[in-house]
Chain A
Amino acid sequence: MSDINEKLARLKQDYLKRFPQKIDEIEGIWKELEINWSLEKMTALQRMAHNIRGTSATYGCMTISDIASQIEILLKTNLEASQKQVDKEMMEHLLKKLRESSV
Protein backbone atom coordinates (compact mmCIF):
# COMPACT_ATOMS: atom_id res chain seq x y z
CA MET A 1 0.00 0.00 0.00
CA SER A 2 2.85 2.39 0.81
CA ASP A 3 4.20 1.72 -2.68
CA ILE A 4 0.89 2.94 -4.14
CA ASN A 5 0.94 5.98 -1.87
CA GLU A 6 4.47 6.82 -2.98
CA LYS A 7 3.53 6.53 -6.65
CA LEU A 8 0.46 8.71 -6.11
CA ALA A 9 2.51 11.30 -4.20
CA ARG A 10 4.96 11.49 -7.12
CA LEU A 11 2.10 11.88 -9.60
CA LYS A 12 0.58 14.68 -7.52
CA GLN A 13 3.93 16.47 -7.29
CA ASP A 14 4.31 16.23 -11.06
CA TYR A 15 0.73 17.44 -11.60
CA LEU A 16 1.34 20.55 -9.50
CA LYS A 17 4.60 21.20 -11.33
CA ARG A 18 2.74 21.07 -14.67
CA PHE A 19 -0.23 23.05 -13.34
CA PRO A 20 0.96 26.57 -14.40
CA GLN A 21 1.09 25.27 -17.99
CA LYS A 22 -2.54 24.18 -17.72
CA ILE A 23 -3.52 27.67 -16.58
CA ASP A 24 -1.50 29.18 -19.46
CA GLU A 25 -3.45 26.94 -21.81
CA ILE A 26 -6.79 27.98 -20.30
CA GLU A 27 -5.84 31.66 -20.43
CA GLY A 28 -4.77 31.23 -24.06
CA ILE A 29 -8.16 29.82 -25.04
CA TRP A 30 -9.91 32.49 -22.97
CA LYS A 31 -8.03 35.25 -24.85
CA GLU A 32 -8.88 33.63 -28.19
CA LEU A 33 -12.54 33.51 -27.14
CA GLU A 34 -12.52 37.21 -26.32
CA ILE A 35 -11.32 37.96 -29.83
CA ASN A 36 -13.33 35.34 -31.67
CA TRP A 37 -16.10 33.49 -29.81
CA SER A 38 -16.68 29.87 -30.80
CA LEU A 39 -18.88 27.17 -29.30
CA GLU A 40 -16.11 24.64 -29.82
CA LYS A 41 -13.58 26.65 -27.82
CA MET A 42 -16.12 27.44 -25.11
CA THR A 43 -16.92 23.73 -24.75
CA ALA A 44 -13.20 22.85 -24.67
CA LEU A 45 -12.65 25.47 -21.96
CA GLN A 46 -15.52 24.09 -19.88
CA ARG A 47 -14.14 20.56 -20.28
CA MET A 48 -10.68 21.72 -19.14
CA ALA A 49 -12.16 23.33 -16.02
CA HIS A 50 -14.22 20.18 -15.43
CA ASN A 51 -11.13 17.97 -15.71
CA ILE A 52 -9.15 20.15 -13.31
CA ARG A 53 -12.05 19.99 -10.85
CA GLY A 54 -12.09 16.16 -10.87
CA THR A 55 -8.35 15.52 -11.08
CA SER A 56 -7.24 18.04 -8.47
CA ALA A 57 -9.88 16.77 -6.04
CA THR A 58 -8.67 13.19 -6.59
CA TYR A 59 -5.16 14.42 -5.70
CA GLY A 60 -6.64 16.05 -2.59
CA CYS A 61 -6.11 19.64 -3.85
CA MET A 62 -9.54 20.87 -2.81
CA THR A 63 -8.92 24.63 -3.17
CA ILE A 64 -7.87 24.20 -6.82
CA SER A 65 -10.87 21.92 -7.38
CA ASP A 66 -13.31 24.44 -5.85
CA ILE A 67 -12.05 27.30 -8.05
CA ALA A 68 -12.11 25.09 -11.17
CA SER A 69 -15.67 24.16 -10.25
CA GLN A 70 -16.65 27.86 -10.12
CA ILE A 71 -15.11 28.39 -13.57
CA GLU A 72 -16.94 25.34 -14.91
CA ILE A 73 -20.29 26.59 -13.54
CA LEU A 74 -19.70 30.09 -14.96
CA LEU A 75 -18.99 28.68 -18.43
CA LYS A 76 -21.74 26.06 -18.24
CA THR A 77 -24.32 28.68 -17.28
CA ASN A 78 -23.34 30.73 -20.32
CA LEU A 79 -23.36 27.71 -22.62
CA GLU A 80 -26.79 26.60 -21.43
CA ALA A 81 -28.20 30.10 -21.89
CA SER A 82 -26.48 30.34 -25.33
CA GLN A 83 -24.84 33.54 -24.18
CA LYS A 84 -21.61 34.58 -25.82
CA GLN A 85 -20.63 37.10 -23.17
CA VAL A 86 -19.01 35.49 -20.14
CA ASP A 87 -18.58 37.75 -17.10
CA LYS A 88 -15.04 38.89 -17.97
CA GLU A 89 -14.27 40.33 -14.55
CA MET A 90 -15.41 37.17 -12.77
CA MET A 91 -13.55 34.87 -15.16
CA GLU A 92 -10.30 36.79 -14.79
CA HIS A 93 -10.70 36.90 -11.03
CA LEU A 94 -11.16 33.11 -10.93
CA LEU A 95 -8.19 32.49 -13.24
CA LYS A 96 -6.04 34.66 -10.97
CA LYS A 97 -7.24 32.72 -7.92
CA LEU A 98 -6.55 29.43 -9.72
CA ARG A 99 -2.96 30.49 -10.45
CA GLU A 100 -2.42 31.68 -6.87
CA SER A 101 -3.87 28.48 -5.40
CA SER A 102 -1.35 26.28 -7.18
CA VAL A 103 1.73 28.10 -5.83
Chain B
Amino acid sequence: MKPLKTILVAEDELDIQMIIDIALEDLEVHFCQTGKEALNKLQHITPDLLLLDVMMPEMDGPQLLKELSKIEKYATLPAIFLTAKGEPKEIDHLLDLGALAVLTKPFSPLTLGKQLNALWQAHTQKSAMVNI
Protein backbone atom coordinates (compact mmCIF):
# COMPACT_ATOMS: atom_id res chain seq x y z
CA MET B 1 0.00 0.00 0.00
CA LYS B 2 1.32 3.44 -0.94
CA PRO B 3 2.17 5.41 2.19
CA LEU B 4 1.08 8.99 2.67
CA LYS B 5 4.12 11.13 1.91
CA THR B 6 3.28 14.55 0.52
CA ILE B 7 0.60 17.02 1.55
CA LEU B 8 -0.30 20.44 0.23
CA VAL B 9 -1.81 22.65 2.92
CA ALA B 10 -3.80 25.75 1.94
CA GLU B 11 -4.26 27.82 5.11
CA ASP B 12 -4.07 31.59 5.51
CA GLU B 13 -3.37 31.60 9.26
CA LEU B 14 0.39 31.31 9.80
CA ASP B 15 0.03 29.97 13.34
CA ILE B 16 -2.06 27.06 12.08
CA GLN B 17 0.58 26.47 9.38
CA MET B 18 3.28 26.30 12.07
CA ILE B 19 1.19 23.92 14.22
CA ILE B 20 0.59 21.66 11.22
CA ASP B 21 4.28 21.76 10.37
CA ILE B 22 5.11 20.44 13.84
CA ALA B 23 2.23 17.93 13.84
CA LEU B 24 3.21 16.46 10.46
CA GLU B 25 6.97 16.56 10.80
CA ASP B 26 7.32 13.03 9.37
CA LEU B 27 5.67 14.07 6.10
CA GLU B 28 6.67 16.36 3.25
CA VAL B 29 4.37 19.32 3.74
CA HIS B 30 4.01 22.26 1.35
CA PHE B 31 2.16 25.38 2.42
CA CYS B 32 0.27 28.15 0.68
CA GLN B 33 -2.07 30.85 1.94
CA THR B 34 -4.82 31.04 -0.68
CA GLY B 35 -6.64 28.81 -3.13
CA LYS B 36 -4.97 30.66 -6.01
CA GLU B 37 -1.54 29.95 -4.58
CA ALA B 38 -2.51 26.29 -4.24
CA LEU B 39 -3.49 26.14 -7.92
CA ASN B 40 -0.09 27.58 -8.87
CA LYS B 41 1.78 25.26 -6.53
CA LEU B 42 0.06 22.20 -8.01
CA GLN B 43 1.84 22.93 -11.27
CA HIS B 44 5.14 22.16 -9.55
CA ILE B 45 4.33 19.45 -7.01
CA THR B 46 2.14 16.34 -6.93
CA PRO B 47 0.81 15.88 -3.41
CA ASP B 48 -0.93 12.72 -2.23
CA LEU B 49 -3.45 14.79 -0.31
CA LEU B 50 -4.78 18.33 0.06
CA LEU B 51 -5.53 19.82 3.46
CA LEU B 52 -7.68 22.91 2.97
CA ASP B 53 -8.89 25.73 5.14
CA VAL B 54 -12.39 26.97 4.27
CA MET B 55 -12.08 30.74 4.76
CA MET B 56 -9.16 32.18 2.83
CA PRO B 57 -8.70 35.42 0.89
CA GLU B 58 -8.80 35.54 -2.93
CA MET B 59 -9.99 31.96 -3.41
CA ASP B 60 -11.41 29.99 -0.49
CA GLY B 61 -11.19 26.23 0.05
CA PRO B 62 -14.58 25.31 -1.48
CA GLN B 63 -13.86 27.46 -4.56
CA LEU B 64 -10.49 25.76 -4.94
CA LEU B 65 -12.06 22.31 -4.77
CA LYS B 66 -14.62 23.31 -7.42
CA GLU B 67 -11.81 24.59 -9.68
CA LEU B 68 -9.82 21.39 -9.21
CA SER B 69 -12.82 19.21 -10.05
CA LYS B 70 -12.89 20.84 -13.50
CA ILE B 71 -9.27 19.85 -14.22
CA GLU B 72 -8.97 16.17 -15.16
CA LYS B 73 -5.60 15.47 -13.54
CA TYR B 74 -6.73 17.00 -10.22
CA ALA B 75 -10.33 15.83 -10.18
CA THR B 76 -9.54 12.74 -8.09
CA LEU B 77 -6.98 14.39 -5.81
CA PRO B 78 -8.26 13.68 -2.29
CA ALA B 79 -8.99 16.79 -0.23
CA ILE B 80 -9.69 17.14 3.47
CA PHE B 81 -11.04 20.33 4.97
CA LEU B 82 -9.77 21.69 8.26
CA THR B 83 -12.23 24.29 9.43
CA ALA B 84 -13.54 26.18 12.44
CA LYS B 85 -16.95 26.12 10.71
CA GLY B 86 -18.10 22.92 12.33
CA GLU B 87 -21.87 23.29 11.88
CA PRO B 88 -23.48 20.10 10.43
CA LYS B 89 -24.93 22.02 7.47
CA GLU B 90 -21.49 23.39 6.59
CA ILE B 91 -19.86 19.96 6.92
CA ASP B 92 -22.53 18.39 4.66
CA HIS B 93 -21.92 21.13 2.10
CA LEU B 94 -18.16 20.45 2.07
CA LEU B 95 -18.68 16.71 1.74
CA ASP B 96 -21.12 17.31 -1.12
CA LEU B 97 -18.37 19.23 -2.90
CA GLY B 98 -16.37 16.01 -2.92
CA ALA B 99 -14.18 16.39 0.16
CA LEU B 100 -12.84 13.14 1.55
CA ALA B 101 -13.47 14.34 5.11
CA VAL B 102 -13.95 17.43 7.22
CA LEU B 103 -11.83 17.93 10.33
CA THR B 104 -12.72 20.72 12.69
CA LYS B 105 -10.71 23.31 14.61
CA PRO B 106 -9.70 23.06 17.32
CA PHE B 107 -7.78 19.98 16.35
CA SER B 108 -5.21 18.00 18.28
CA PRO B 109 -1.73 18.44 16.80
CA LEU B 110 -0.77 15.21 18.55
CA THR B 111 -3.25 13.13 16.56
CA LEU B 112 -3.56 15.03 13.27
CA GLY B 113 -0.96 12.86 11.52
CA LYS B 114 -2.71 9.65 12.58
CA GLN B 115 -6.10 11.00 11.48
CA LEU B 116 -4.81 11.98 8.05
CA ASN B 117 -3.02 8.65 7.65
CA ALA B 118 -6.17 6.70 8.55
CA LEU B 119 -8.27 8.71 6.08
CA TRP B 120 -5.60 8.30 3.40
CA GLN B 121 -5.37 4.51 3.93
CA ALA B 122 -9.17 4.17 3.76
CA HIS B 123 -9.23 6.26 0.59
CA THR B 124 -6.47 4.29 -1.17
CA GLN B 125 -8.06 0.95 -0.21
CA LYS B 126 -11.40 2.10 -1.60
CA SER B 127 -9.76 3.36 -4.80
CA ALA B 128 -7.91 0.05 -5.22
CA MET B 129 -11.18 -1.89 -4.87
CA VAL B 130 -12.91 0.30 -7.45
CA ASN B 131 -10.06 -0.32 -9.90
CA ILE B 132 -10.18 -4.14 -9.57
Binding site for B on A (CB under 8 A): 1, 4-5, 7-8, 11, 15, 44, 47, 50-51, 53-55, 57-60, 65
Contacts and interface: CB of A to CB of B under 8 A. Distances in A.
Contact of A55 (B16, B22, B25, B57): B16
Contact of B105 (A5, A8, A47, A57): A57
B84 A54 contact: yes
Contacts of A57: 84, 105-106
Nearest to A44: B57
Contacts of A5: 110
A58 B106 contact: yes
B109 A15 contact: no
Interface centre among B13, B23, B57 (most CB of A within 10 A): B13
Contacts, number: 51
B23 A4 contact: yes
Nearest to B109: A8
Sorted from nearest, which 10 A-B pairs have the closest CB atoms?
A54-B84, A54-B105, A57-B106, A58-B106, A51-B13, A55-B15, A7-B22, A53-B84, A47-B55, A50-B55
Contact of B22 (A4, A50, A59, A60): A4
Contacts of B84: 50, 53-54, 57
Interface of B: 12-13, 15-16, 18-19, 22-23, 25, 55, 57, 83-85, 105-107, 109-110
Contacts of B12: 47, 51
Contacts of A47: 12, 55, 57
Given A11-B15, A15-B15, A47-B57, A58 B110 contact: no
B19 A54 contact: no
Contacts of A11: 15, 18-19, 22
Contacts of A53: 84, 105
A33 B18 CA distance: 31
Contacts of A59: 15
B57 A58 contact: no
Contacts of B107: 58
A55 B83 CA distance: 10
A52 B25 CA distance: 24
B13 A8 contact: no
